[in-house]
Structure 1
Amino acid sequence: MEFRHLRYFLAVADELHFGRAAQRLSMSQPPLSVAIQQLEANVGARLFERDSKGVRLTPAGSAFRTSAAALLARAEEACALAREVQAGEVGRLRLGFVGSTLFNGLSGWLQAFQASHSRVEVVVIELNSQDQIEALLADDLDLGLVHTDRLPPALDGRPLYSEPFLACLPADHPLARLERMPLAALSDQPFILFSRKGSPDYHARIIDICRQHGFYPRLQHEGRHWLSVVSLVAQGLGVSIVPAAFQRAGVQGAVFRPLQEAIEPSAVFAAWRRDTEAVLRERFLAAGSRAAMPKNADIE
């Protein structure tokens, strides 16, 4: 049985006339009659009575008509849904993000996307960069917002924006009086860093920044999330160098100062599996407009 047989049957059932049904279907009558005979053979029941009085549905035909109409409607809905999914109008996007993006316009980005894609379900999951990479490889995420461009061969990515690093100190720290922070002033301070396991690149990056300016940081504590790092600083347990986004986190007890030296900024990258469909992902990335980002973020 083919779907065309159902369409032919419903046309005849509506018209109760093979000639008019054939005209409605833009075909000649003989092939239509053959198709209905084939359908009746497949169903195993007569669906129409044909005599000199005309064409009538049999009881079996009347029962079949309801189910055939529902089946054809569901098939058409399935086809329409498939086209919408392919076009990126319907679907589900599992988005991983690092904490700094919360303070760099992620909520505005999500709202802009959902306003134009109300039938797309976006599931957001906060994970550090390394956990996002592992989740992407396991196909547990569709898109990640990470702090590294060092991706495995199975993943691809692109830069989104960058922002400066700032010195982060307890509010009552003597160095907090400085308007700009010389890196060397932090050389004898206990440091709080993002954990090496959570983001090997970021951990190494902060250490390299310090080493390039003449000292190796005194590592005192580690946090699995940058917000944890800022919170530990606010409690007076040390100092840190963090992305500028966290000065908007509203953590009481922590202050932020621009670094005196020019250093390479912190960057956020989009990452995804190379073997996945691009339409929904590209539509989401397109929604991340410049307007959704803070003024100090440099959009790539």
Structure 2
Amino acid sequence: MEFRHLRYFLALAEELHFGRAAQRLAISQPPLSVAIQQLEASVGARLFDRDSKGVRLTPAGEAFRGSAQALLDRAEDACALAREVQAGEVGRLRLGFVGSTLFNGLSAWLQVFQASHPKVEVIVIELNSQDQIDALLAEELDLGLVHTDRLPPALASQPLYSEPFLACLPAGHPLASLEQIPLASLSDQPFILFSRKGSPDYHARIVEICRQHGFYPRLQHEGRHWLSVVSLVSQGLGVSIVPAAFRQAGVQGAVFRPLAEAIEASAVFAAWRRDSASVLRARFLTNRASKA
């Protein structure tokens, strides 16, 4: 049985006339007759009575008609779904993100994308950069927003944006009254840094920033998320150097000041598997670029 047999059957069931059904199907009458005979042989039942009075559905044909229509409808739905998936109009996107992106337009980005792609399910998961890299390699994420482009060979990346680093201090800290913070003034302060395990590259970059300005940070605590770092600072447990986005986090007790020296900015990159050709991922990234 082929889908064309079902289409021919349904056309004849509606027209109850071989000539009109053939014309409707844009075929000649003999192929239609042969197809109906093949269908009846495949089903194992006579679907039409044919005599000098015309063509009529048999009880078996009446019973078959609803199922035949349902099969064709499901086939068309399946075809439509496949086309939508290929076009990036439907599906699922598993998105990892670092916390700073929440304060750099991620929510608005998601809202705009969902409005233009209502059939796409976007699953967002906050993970530090290293956990996202591991999840991408394990095919547990489709796209990651990370703080590093130093990635395994299996992953590709593109830059999204950058922002300055700021000094993060407890509100009552003596240096908090300064408009700018010289890096050297932090040399004797207890530091709270992003976890080395959470993002080895990011941890190393901040240590290197300090080294370039004459000191190694006196590490007191580590956090696996930047908000944890800022929260520890707000409780007076140390100072830190954090991406500027966290000024908008609203953490009481933490203040942010520009650094007096010009240093390399904090960058966010999109990362994905090189062997993954995802239309949804491409559409998501293009959507952000169009709104940038």
Fold agreement, TM-score > 0.5: yes
Identity in percent: 85
Equivalent residue number for residue 80 of structure 2: 80
Residue type of the partner of 1:253?
Answer: G
Q: CA deviation at 1:64?
A: 0.5
How far apart are residue 287 of structure 1 and its match?
2.2
Runs of 4+ residues deviating >4 angstroms:
289-292
- The size of the alignment, in residue pairs, is 292
Q: Distance in 1 between matches of 2:127 and 2:265?
A: 21
Whether 1:132 aligns to 2:117 is no
Letter in 2 for 1:248: Q
Q: 2:157 and 2:86 mapped to 1: Cα distance?
A: 21
Contact 1:93 1:120 (C-alpha < 8 Å) held by counterparts: yes
TM superposition shift of 1:157: 1.2
1:114 maps to what in 2? 114
Equivalent positions of 1:36-185 (< 5 A) are 36-185=36-185
| Partner Cα separation in structure 1 for residue 164 and residue 141 of structure 2 | 28
Q: Does 1:279 align with 2:274?
A: no
* TM-score of the two chains, using structure 2 as the length reference: 0.98
* Distance in 2, Cα, partners of 1:147 & 1:197: 13
Q: Larger deviation: 238-247 or 151-160?
A: 151-160
Partner Cα distance (2:77, 2:277) in 1: 22
- What SS class does the counterpart of residue 152 from structure 1 fall into? coil
Give the CA deviation at 1:119. Answer: 1.2
The C-alpha deviation readout for 1:12-41, integer Å capped at 9, x for no partner, is: 111011111110010111111111111111
Cα distance in 2 for partners of 1:54, 1:152 equals 72
CA distance in 2, matches of 1:156, 1:7: 47
SS in 1 for 2:151: coil
User: 2: distance between equivalents of 1:255 and 1:286?
Assistant: 35
Counterpart of 1:24, as a letter, is R
Instruction: Tell me how large the CA RMSD over aligned residues is.
Output: 1.0
CA distance in 1, matches of 2:88, 2:237: 48
How far residue 289 of structure 1 moved from its aligned partner, in angstroms, is 4.5
Q: Deviations over 1:158-183 (max 9, x none)?
A: 00000000000111101111111111
Aligned residue in 2 for 1:228? 228
Q: Letter of the 1:244 partner, please give it.
A: A
Unaligned runs of 5+ in 1: 293-300
Unmatched 5+ stretches in structure 2: none
**Deviation at 1:130?**
0.5
Q: 1:194 aligned to 2:194?
A: yes
Q: Report the CA distance between 1:103 and its aligned residue.
A: 0.7
How much has 1:291 moved relative to structure 2?
A: 5.4
Residues 45 and 290 of structure 1, relative CA distance in 2, 3 Å threshold: closer
What does the per-residue CA deviation read over 1:230-273, in whole Å, with 9 as the maximum and x for residues that have no partner? Answer: 00001000000000000110011111111111111000000111
Superposition deviation, residue 290 in structure 1:
7.4
Aligned to 2:9: 9
Whole-Å separation in 1 of the counterparts to 2:156 and 2:64: 52
Which AA in structure 1 matches 2:258? P
Number of the residue aligned with 1:31: 31
SS of equivalent to 1:73: helix
